[in-house]
C-alpha cells in the first residue's frame, strides 16, 4: 500500500515545480494545458492551493535574484532520476521540504505575485504576460499585474496601455483605472487613465466597462470601433477611428481636425521639455497631420509654417508658441 505522506510530498514537489515553470515567461498553451490536466487531481489541486497560500502570506522576497536562483537550483536538484536506489528515489521528497521552506520566505517567481511595469516620459514598452497576452505601455505609464486562479488583474495607475488579450474563458482579464473597470476574455482594447475617469477604446472583440463602486455604478458594452469616456457625466459609447486612437502604439500621432490646443497637449505627453501655447484664438485652429511621438521640432516647425506662429525657446528648455506681435 502506498504511503499517503509520500503521495503528498510528491504533489508538493510537483506543485513547486509548476509554480516556477508558470513563472517563466512566455508560458505556452501546451504548458497551460498540461498544468490544468495535472491540477485536475484533487490531491494536486490541494498541493497547489497550499503553495499559493504560502506565497500570498509571505511574498516580500519574490524579486530577490539570488533567492530566485536558489529556488530554481533546488527544484532542479529535486527532480527524480530514472535509475538508482530507492534511497535516491526518495531524495526529491526530502528536498521538497527545503523548497517549501524557501517558498515560506517568498522566493517563488511569479504566478500569484504582483508585477510592476513603468515607462518614463517619451518611453514606450511592449510586455508579454505569462498567459500570452501582450501589453503596450505608452509614455509615463505605470501598471501592476496580478494573476490568480479566478481572474487576471491589471491595475493601470497612470498613463495608457493597449491590451491584446489571450483568450481564457476560465479567467476574465480585468483592467482597473480608478473606478473604471474593463472586463474582457480575448480581445484588443486601449485604456487611458484620465484625472477623473478613463478613456476606453475597443479595437477587436467585446468588452464590458463599469464605472463607480456603488449601486449606482454605470456600465456599457462596447463594440469594435467604439470609445467611452467615463469622466463624462452622460457618457455613452461613441464611434471612433480605432486606428487613429491607437496610433500611439506605432509611435505616431494622427490629428484630424484636432484643435491646436488639444494637439499640443497630446504632443506634450511625450516630451520632457514641453511646448507652451499662448496663441489666443489660434489655439482653436484645426490641425491635420501625422507626427512621430517625441518629435518636438517637427511639430513646432509645422505650427510655425502652417499657422504663422512664432517659436521661442525658453530658459527651462520649453518652446513657446505665440502669435507674432504686429510690427515684430
C-alpha triplet 251, 254, 255: angle, nearest 5°: 145
pLDDT at residue 224, as a whole number: 95
Tens digits of per-residue pLDDT, 47-68?
A: 887 776 665 544 444 444 444 5
**Residue 256 buriedness (CB in 10 A; 0-12 / 13-18 / 19+):** exposed
The backbone region for 54, taken as left when phi is positive above 0, alpha when psi lies in -120 to 50, beta otherwise, is alpha
The set of residues, in sequence order, having a beta carbon less than 8 Å from that of 241 and lying 6+ positions away, is: 225, 256
C-alpha closest to that of 109 among 55, 155, 173? 55
Q: What are φ and ψ of residue 323, in 5° steps?
A: -80, 130
What pairs with residue 315 in β-bridges?
Answer: none
The β-bridge partners of 299 are none
CA dist., res. 94 & res. 78, Å (int): 8
Q: CA geometry: angle at 234 spanning 231 and 236, to 5°?
A: 85
Q: Structure pTM?
A: 0.65
CA–CA gap between residue 95 and residue 102 (Å, rounded): 11
Low-confidence ranges of the chain (pLDDT < 50): 1, 57-67, 70, 74, 77-113, 328
| Per-residue pLDDT at 89 | 40
Q: How far apart are CA 51 and CA 23, in angstroms?
A: 14
- In contact, 221 and 200? CB cutoff 8 Å: no
Q: Which segments of the chain does DSSP mark as H helices, in order?
A: 4-22, 29-39, 42-57, 65-78, 86-89, 91-104, 242-245, 260-268, 296-307
Q: Which element (helix H / strand E) includes 197?
A: strand 197-204
From 186, 78, 177, select the one nearest 132 (Cα to Cα).
186
Long-range contact set of residues 277-281: C-beta below 8 Å, sequence gap at least 24: 277/321, 278/320, 278/321, 278/322, 279/307, 279/309, 279/321, 279/322, 279/323, 280/323
Amino acid at each position: 500500500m502506498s504511503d499517503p505522506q509520500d503521495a503528498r510530498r510528491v504533489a508538493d514537489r510537483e506543485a513547486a515545480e509548476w509554480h516556477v515553470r508558470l513563472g517563466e515567461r512566455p508560458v505556452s498553451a501546451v504548458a497551460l494545458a498540461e498544468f490544468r490536466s495535472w491540477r485536475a487531481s484533487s490531491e494536486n489541486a490541494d498541493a497547489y492551493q497550499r503553495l499559493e497560500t504560502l506565497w500570498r502570506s509571505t511574498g516580500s522576497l519574490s524579486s530577490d535574484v539570488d533567492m530566485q536562483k536558489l529556488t530554481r537550483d533546488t527544484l532542479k536538484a529535486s527532480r527524480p532520476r530514472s535509475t538508482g536506489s530507492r534511497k535516491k528515489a526518495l531524495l526529491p521528497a526530502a528536498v521538497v521540504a527545503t523548497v517549501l521552506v524557501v517558498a515560506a520566505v517568498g522566493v517563488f517567481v511569479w504566478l500569484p505575485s504582483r508585477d510592476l511595469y513603468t515607462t518614463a516620459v517619451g518611453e514606450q514598452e511592449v510586455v508579454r504576460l505569462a498567459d500570452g497576452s501582450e501589453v503596450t505601455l505608452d509614455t509615463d505609464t505605470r501598471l501592476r499585474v496580478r494573476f490568480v486562479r479566478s481572474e487576471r488583474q491589471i491595475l493601470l495607475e497612470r498613463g495608457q496601455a493597449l491590451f491584446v488579450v489571450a483568450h481564457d474563458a476560465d479567467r476574465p482579464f480585468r483592467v482597473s483605472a480608478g473606478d473604471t473597470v474593463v472586463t474582457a476574455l480575448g480581445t484588443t482594447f486601449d485604456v487611458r487613465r484620465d484625472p477623473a475617469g478613463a478613456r476606453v477604446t475597443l479595437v477587436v472583440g467585446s468588452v464590458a466597462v463599469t464605472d463607480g463602486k456603488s449601486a449606482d455604478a454605470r456600465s456599457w458594452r462596447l463594440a469594435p470601433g467604439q470609445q467611452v469616456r467615463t469622466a463624462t457625466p452622460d457618457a455613452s459609447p461613441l464611434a471612433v477611428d480605432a486606428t487613429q486612437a491607437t496610433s500611439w502604439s506605432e509611435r505616431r500621432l494622427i490629428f484630424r481636425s484636432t484643435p491646436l490646443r488639444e494637439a499640443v497637449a497630446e504632443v506634450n505627453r511625450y516630451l520632457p521639455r514641453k511646448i507652451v501655447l499662448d496663441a489666443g484664438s489660434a489655439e482653436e485652429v484645426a490641425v491635420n497631420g501625422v507626427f512621430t511621438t517625441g518629435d518636438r521640432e517637427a511639430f513646432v516647425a509645422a505650427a510655425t509654417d502652417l499657422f504663422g506662429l512664432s517659436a521661442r525657446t525658453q530658459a527651462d528648455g520649453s518652446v513657446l508658441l505665440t502669435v507674432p506681435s504686429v510690427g515684430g
